Amino acid sequence: MYEGPVQDLIDALCPLPSIGPRSANRIALHFILREGGKEDAERLASALMAVQSVQFCERCHNIAADNLCRICKDERRDRAVICVVGQPKDLIAIERIRDYRGTYHVLGGLISPIEGVGPDDLHIRSLLARLTDGEVTEVILATDPNLEGQATATYLARLLKTVGVKVTQLASGLPVGGDLDYADELTLGRAFEGRRVLST
Amino acid sequence: MYEGPVQDLIDALCPLPSIGPRSANRIALHFILREGGKEDAERLASALMAVQSVQFCERCHNIAADNLCRICKDERRDRAVICVVGQPKDLIAIERIRDYRGTYHVLGGLISPIEGVGPDDLHIRSLLARLTDGEVTEVILATDPNLEGQATATYLARLLKTVGVKVTQLASGLPVGGDLDYADELTLGRAFEGRRVLST
């Protein structure tokens, strides 16, 4: 046990994800003993205070510095296409490919009976509301390629059938750069199902 | 890239030890999306501010909430014995065994020609000053059992010879609970050198 304030800092670091007791110790001592540690601590403290003002986009529920997020504010983004994702980090992953120019809708989770998350816990009503004005022509389902993601996509696909909008889902298949014999059977099965015609 | 304040938080977390870009993302989103995340952020921010007031013990250079550290303040600790360690974390490790009742002296590093750390960069003068009043009867060298630690211990042993105080060093040998055939040659060699007589 370190003296009061040092131990308090370690205790505040410990419960954070991907930080164990050993890392918490190392980080706390970094702030105290390392050159520039004092500045790092001040910078982190003010970043933590600033992040308290973060809100969620009124339209798509993405993390936002304002009422609307950066993407919903951007006039150049195509409002006719909505890409539906589970969490903000999925949105960031898709933004990273720099190809997609449409908008997003962040569900805030995925349907998971085990964790007690049902459709009513997700931002689905606001998604439907965005489809009422007839401006949207395509909804891309980009939920995680796992059980919960697939359950959510299936649920949404069925629900959106009644709205009369084109619904698509990201392709499942072999990851680029991977070895075929390392792929699990499910992925390989999906890759077969979704095989593309190259020539006939 | 997340919106301003979120990205600033990620950027403030990234340079910390044992936090990579992926963990920085996870931790930042924990503060924003998880239940209780807001409270975790506030707690960490105030712990970071509080730790700015931490100082170093005037006597032993340990981390201290005051002029003197908890151990130097404690009247029940035996001032006749000084255990010399490299860093505060070594002191904490020795405190954890709950056996040692003497005091400490934190050098603030170890002699390392490669990293340009010489004896003058360590708190050695203040150690000598503590030995002048004749109260101290034993100095235990407890530097790391590596090259730098051994270099520092050897240097100190030679220096303290002139002072006329008993100087001891922690035993090197096989770690308890380990397998003999996993021990490296150096450790095994030290274990042989330091073998104890059980009966004659």
**The pLDDT value given to residue B49:** 92
**The pLDDT value given to residue B199:** 65
Tell me if A53 and B5 make a contact (CB, 8 A cut-off): yes
**The pLDDT value given to residue A139:** 92
What is the three-state SS of chain B?
Answer: CCCHHHHHHHHHHCCCCCCCHHHHHHHHHHHHHCCCHHHHHHHHHHHHHHHHHCEECCCCCCEECCCCCHHHHCCCCEEEEEEEECCHHHHHHHHHCCCCCEEEEECCCCCECCCCECHHHCCCHHHHHHCCCCCCCEEEECCCCCHHHHHHHHHHHHHHHCCCCEEEECCCCCCCCCCHHHCCHHHHHHHHHCCCCCCC
Please name the member of B11, B16, B27 whose beta carbon is closest to the beta carbon of A30.
B16
For A66, nearest residue in chain B (alpha carbons): B3
For B63, nearest residue in chain A (alpha carbons): A3
What is the pLDDT tens value at each position of chain A, 200 positions in all?
A: 888 889 999 999 999 999 999 999 999 999 998 888 889 999 999 999 999 888 999 999 999 988 999 999 999 999 999 999 999 999 998 888 888 899 999 999 999 999 999 999 999 999 999 999 889 999 999 998 888 999 999 999 999 988 888 999 888 887 877 787 877 888 888 878 777 776 66
Tell me if B42 and A29 make a contact (CB, 8 A cut-off): no
> B67 to chain A: which residues are within 8 Å by CB?
none
Tell me if A70 and B12 make a contact (CB, 8 A cut-off): no
Pairing of strands A63-64, A78-85: unpaired
**The pLDDT value given to residue B155:** 94
Q: What is the ipTM of this complex?
A: 0.77
**The pLDDT value given to residue A120:** 94
Tell me if B5 and A43 make a contact (CB, 8 A cut-off): no
For residue B80, pLDDT over 70 is answered with yes
Query: What pTM does this model have?
Result: 0.76
**The pLDDT value given to residue B97:** 83
> B87 to chain A: which residues are within 8 Å by CB?
29, 33
Tell me if A33 and B8 make a contact (CB, 8 A cut-off): no
**The pLDDT value given to residue A184:** 81
A-interface mutation test, from B8, B32, B48, B104, most A Cβ less than 10 A away: B48
